[in-house]
Amino acid sequence: MIDEASIHEDCLYLNVTTPRHVGARKLPVMVWIHGNGFINGAGSLYDAQRLADTGNVIVVSPNYRLGIFGFLAHPSLDHGAARHLSGNFGLEDQQAALRWVQRNAAAFGGDRANVTIFGESAGGTSVCSHLAAPGSAGLFQKAILQSGECTGEKWSPGPPTWFPLPRAERERHGLDVASELDCPDVRTAASCLRKIEPEVLTKWSDVGLGSGPTVGGGVLPLSPQKAFATGRFNRVPIIQGTTRDEHRLFTAAIEAATGKQTTDASYRDEVHTLFGPTDAARVLARYPSDHFHSAGEALSTVVTDWAWACPVLDRNRALSAHAPVYAYEFSDENAPWFTTLAKPNFPTGAFHGGELQYIFDDAQLPGPATSAQRKLSNQMMRYWSQFAHTGNPNGHNSPKWSPFKAGEHVQSLAPGAIGSADLAQEHQCAFWASIGN
């Protein structure tokens, strides 16, 4: 059952899932930060009982403020009741949950000195932010990033919702939103905004820049991209990865929302919008639509390679220069599709979020369907939980997973085929390195 939408800021609750049988030994705590674009979602959507039992870990899944309530950057909201400059209230909620774990871990059998943060999509972006945030130092000892947009390009279509963006950019957006809501005076905007009904405010959560972290001062002095490149981040062991066909979900969702399938013409137009005429011609020559099931799949492949796979490969290289990194690609080409979204006219493959049902009983996804998929699910839970125990995903009777080193392959996670994958070749990263240069 999927939670009903709520407009109340009284949302700061969390769920604690323990193994059915807890011994005397303190167990690792895994803190799950949910995704859904910083716009919606809840920790309760992800049933972690199988993960807790399989891995002998404790899973904590907090909620945090979303949308305009969690991420509006506006000078009138700076300081006051806020601990920092505005724009990152949702991240501060997550930090509050991590401090709660520090205070209360022992009460539910957890080890406060062995905390792993993990998240997917906007949750993965949150994990990136905590790696870069000085105020998160010491609140966790390991991190798992699943399909997080932390660095790289702001791709279209749609707002760059989950990207950490500069404060000047976020504040311009906040001033525009306040003005549109008839609160143009910076001196009185905070009190003015607080008088507006929440259901009116929430409609502005995904307008323009959307909602996401603010870089500069306060919680995030440095962008994750700069922090990772310079080594100025919380150096802990990391698992990081993507799904092989990330953008197929977004293309399918946009087609479903608009009622329009991607055509050859709209594919060409979108590529020209993204890259300009010179680079667009090269992209279209490298990714001709007649090489795919449909133009929608062609567009999905372009954005997957350009905005997901190759940036995460660069991020693997940057992070692994300073901390142990175990890199993966979720590659189940038959991952069960969402229960609430119509399938598009192309194979959905290993879509964005497709791996969630292999780690949780996810209210949004039907779960592994075949014996091979269930075995993959068990293996992924063992990898994730073993990493939480030791900082290394390798355990007894598990396929070996080597730490990432520049130029090396990543671990491919597919039913009956866990092994090595060449991300750079598979996603044509040498080609993408030449685009825009």
Catalytic residue among 153, 171, 246, 329: 246
Spatial contact of 329 and 413, defined as CB atoms under 8 Å apart: yes
In the annotation, is 246 catalytic? yes
Query: DSSP for 323-382?
Result: S-EEEEEE--TTPPPPSSS---SS---S-TTTTGGGTSEETTS----SHHHHHHHHHHHH
* Residue 293: active-site member: no
Q: Which of 34, 74, 173, 352 is catalytic?
A: 352
Helix (H, G, I), strand (E, B) or coil at 384: helix
297 is catalytic: no
Provide long-range contacts, Cβ within 8 A and 24+ apart, for 279-287.
279/435, 279/436, 282/435, 283/435, 286/428, 286/431
Enumerate long-range contacts of 331-335, CB under 8 Å, 24 or more apart. Answer: 331/243, 331/244, 331/412, 331/413, 331/414, 331/417, 331/421, 332/358, 332/373, 332/376, 332/413, 332/414, 332/415, 333/244, 333/245, 333/414, 334/370, 334/373, 334/415, 335/243, 335/373
Residues in the chain: 437
What single letter denotes the amino acid at residue 292?
Answer: F
Closest to 144 in 3D by CA, of 360, 371, 381, 384:
384
For tokens 């702001």, name the residue: 154
Q: Which of 61, 76, 86, 121 is catalytic?
A: 121
C-alpha span between 18 and 21 (Å, rounded): 8
Unique residue bearing structure tokens 């039907």:
366
Positions marked active-site: 121, 246, 352
